[in-house]
Amino acid sequence: MKKLRPSGGYRDTASFQTATLIYDATVWFCEKFLDPRSRTVDQMVQAARSGRQNIAEGSRASATSSQTELRLINVARASLEELLLDYEDFLRHRRLPAWTPDCPEASAVRRVPQSLRKDPSTPSDPSDQVDLSALSDQQRAALYSRWLEHADPAIRANALICLIHQANFLLDRQIAALEKAFVEDGGYSEQLATARLAYRKKKDQPDPSDRSAQADQPDQKPPKCPQCGALMALRTAKSGKNAGSQFWGCTKYPDCKGTTKI
């Protein structure tokens, strides 16, 4: 039986791919620039991991619960927001420069996906776009290696801030789409009930080859009584060997006892 609602497929989503890149780069960042005994390291790694893992868990939960899917995607969004603040704190506490949204460095990070086009002059042509989902995690990380493997912690932190903003933008759109779908189509329980009612209605429809079922149709014209010529009505035998079976009986009964088999 076909699943009522699709689930999974999260590995091909831009939000999960970006969250994976952020998680890996955060582990590398903490290993190189922070004291491994610091509680901040554990908090940053766990926040990055939560962003990635909750996207996956929410995608799998979508098969049976719209509310659970929405809750987990919101948890992922909140975890990445926490990580964003950690990187901003890192820069501020060390008096390191923070990139502005429109500075050349931040713009260069945002342009990485566009740089993969074979012909940058035709950005609206999907056939000219390299499929990012076809890249491995290592290949995707290599696209950002000039920033994420830089010896300067400020460059790494700023690049990760850019990526977190991108992931949060994608998650915000995903949350809005899920909310819209829930309002318009209902949750899993409502869809399951609708599917059940549709199945029962289809199951209860009469078989076109069943003559007795055809006799139940209101638009079928009753025959005339073979004895008196009056119209006949559909009746059900209440006793005898044919009890429960239907037949045509004269409407002038008991004056006329004419019957006809169905």
Q: Name residue, tokens 């076109």.
A: 208
Q: Between 94 and 245, whose confidence is greater?
A: 94
pLDDT tens for 118-128 read 444 544 444 34
Q: What is the mean pLDDT of residues 158-174?
A: 96
What DSSP assignment string belongs to 141-174?
Answer: HHHTHHHHT-S-HHHHHHHHHHHHHHHHHHHHHH
Is the model's pLDDT at 218 over the cut of 70? no
Residue 79, judged by CB atoms within 10 A of its CB (0-12, 13-18, 19+), counts as buried
Q: What is the mean pLDDT of residues 134-160?
A: 95
User: What size, in residues, is the chain?
Assistant: 262
Distance CA 142, CA 149 (A): 9
Q: Between 94 and 188, whose confidence is greater?
A: 94
pLDDT tens for 175-196 read 999 888 877 776 556 555 555 5
What DSSP assignment string belongs to 195-215?
Answer: HHHHHHHHHHSPPTT-HHHHH
Q: Which residues, in sequence order, are bridge partners of residue 246?
A: 236
Tokens, residue 254:
């008991």
Question: How far, in whole angstroms, is CA 171 from its chain's centroid?
Answer: 13
Question: At 242, is the pLDDT very low, low, confident or very high (cuts 50, 70, 90)?
Answer: confident
